[in-house]
Amino acid sequence: MSTITQAEVARRLGLSQGTISNAFRDGGMISEVTRQRVRRAAEQMGYRPNAAARAIRTGRFSSLAVVLPAESAGAGLHFPASLLGSLADHTARANLSMVVADLWLDRMAEDDAYVPHLLRDIRADAAIVNWYAGFGDRADQCMAATGMPVVWMNDRRSQNSVYPDERAAGRMATEHLLELGHTRIGYLACTKSVHFSRRDRRAGVREAVRKAGYELCEPNGLVQPSKTPTEHWRGIAHWLKSEDRPTAVVTYASPETLSLMRGANEAGLRIGHDLSVVQIAEATWANHAAGIDTVEIAWSRVGHEAVAMAQRLLANSEQPQSAVAVAPNTTWRGSCCHVTR
């Protein structure tokens, strides 16, 4: 099958070849109606822009690199599937391609000159680096060595950063409970994590409780990350059986919610009746604890904002971008009840 050229698309539409070229170029001086008309016709004809020729002509590859650790298994990585889908979707909408580059942590630690092969060869115009517990300062050095604009995603920095507003998530969950009349509000975090979300979610909960004139109720030594799941729910049951037990609990994430449900059952408490629960969770995880009121981390918007920031940096790499904290969503499913006086 012969390759369809721009000239053939131009003849089909009765337009100049320059107009066809502009339709596939960011910022091309044509109307959006014409741009979409050209792209639809090109797709029907099977035309694909020559990426190599475009790179030679413009000095750009029209691609973004999403940087992840090669050793990505385990609790050190916050990268839900919805975030990957959002990055792919919004990259495509920006008429860019997305590639994934791996950072090998052992090589990064051993070799001061190490830069990922993909980035060293500059086959991407900008990079979006997702937070990982093992990166440390060496990731900054590696990315600086590439010379390309970098967006730090899911990493709370003052510039060139896009991350979920975790403190707001904790605050919104707590305010929901306060509006229902709860004064003894607990916070439960069993997951072992060094991500800033662990600190910020609790800080948001504590801030809202104290602003209302109350104190946060926590299980203290009864539930710790080092304990087993069985020890978790048994410790939770003990906490919920105490005389000064909370009437409502905010959970750090869905695994804590599942442990809380088991512990509440052991303590003879009915969620939505005797105990109100709000979880902070990613949408997919929220489905594991169906029926629980949820403050959802808006990963799709995080991906959108990260791509948009990368585009702004490509337009002007000398102008740092202010950090973007993405507000969460709320879904109230009926796991909370009004307090009767």
CATH topology of domain 6-49: 434 Repressor (Amino-terminal Domain) (1.10.260)
Range of lowest pLDDT (66-75, 250-259, 270-279, 327-336): 66-75
CB 94 within 8 A of CB 307: yes
Find out whether 326 and 296 touch, Cβ atoms under 8 Å.
Answer: no
pLDDT at 192 over 80: no
**pTM value > 0.95:** no
Q: What tens digit of pLDDT does each residue of 18-50 get?
A: 888 777 765 557 888 888 888 888 888 877 765
**254-266 and 229-241 are packed helices; what angle lies between their axes, rounded to 10 degrees?**
50
- Chain segment 134-181, per-residue pLDDT in tens: 777 778 888 888 888 999 999 999 999 999 999 999 999 999 999 999
**Domain limits of the chain?**
6-49, 63-164+300-326, 166-297
Alpha carbon distance 127, 92 (integer Å): 15
Q: What CATH number was assigned to the domain covering residues 63-164+300-326?
A: 3.40.50.2300
Domain 6-49 and domain 63-164+300-326 have a common topology: no
Q: Which two tokens stand for residue 39?
A: 């792209």
pLDDT, one tens digit per residue, over 42-80 is 888 877 765 544 544 444 557 898 988 776 544 456 778
Domain at 166-297: CATH code: 3.40.50.2300
> CA-to-CA distance for 11 and 46, rounded, in angstroms?
15
